[in-house]
Amino acid sequence: MNHARRQLAREKKTLQGVVEAPTVVAEREQIRLAMALGQMVYDRRSALGLSEADLAERLGISADDVENIEVGGVLPVTSDLLIRLSVALDVTVDLHIAPTGNSVSFETGAAA
């Protein structure tokens, strides 16, 4: 799938005055956050030298569930998941929610 063409179609609609429903905008934001979180989980797990099975054991879930998290397939991103990842990956999780955009980030060496 060519995401660039899809982006252009959305931009064209915006230029034509078409406004997306708030539910669509919110869902797109959740997907973006889930994908960003998944990449951070993968990067941190790799940096720690953990396999998906190792992280799954720490989280009390299956390796398939870890893979699902890493590819951005966990929606919605919940506070419970963020807390469990923080402990399992020894990171501080910062979640910023703002009208202009949301972000999630990891800081290594979780605060005591």
Q: Mention every residue, 6+ apart, whose C-beta is less than 8 A from residue 11.
A: none
pLDDT band at 100 (very low <50, low <70, confident <90, very high): confident
- Specify the pTM: 0.76
Split into its structural domains, the chain has a count of 1
In the structure, what pLDDT confidence band is assigned to residue 17 with cuts at 50, 70 and 90? confident
Helix (H) or strand (E) holding 22: helix 22-47
Query: Alpha-carbon distance 54 to 33, whole Å?
Result: 24
Which of the four pLDDT bands, split at 50, 70 and 90, describes residue 3? Answer: low
pLDDT of residue 1: 45
Ranges of beta strands (E only) in the chain are 91-96, 103-108
- Residue 2 phi, psi (nearest 5): -95, 105
Spatial neighbors of 76 by CB under 8 A, at least 6 apart, are 30, 34
9: CATH: 1.10.260.40
The dihedral over CA atoms of 81, 86, 88, 89, expressed in degrees to the nearest 10, equals 120
Q: Residue 34: which domain range?
A: 3-108
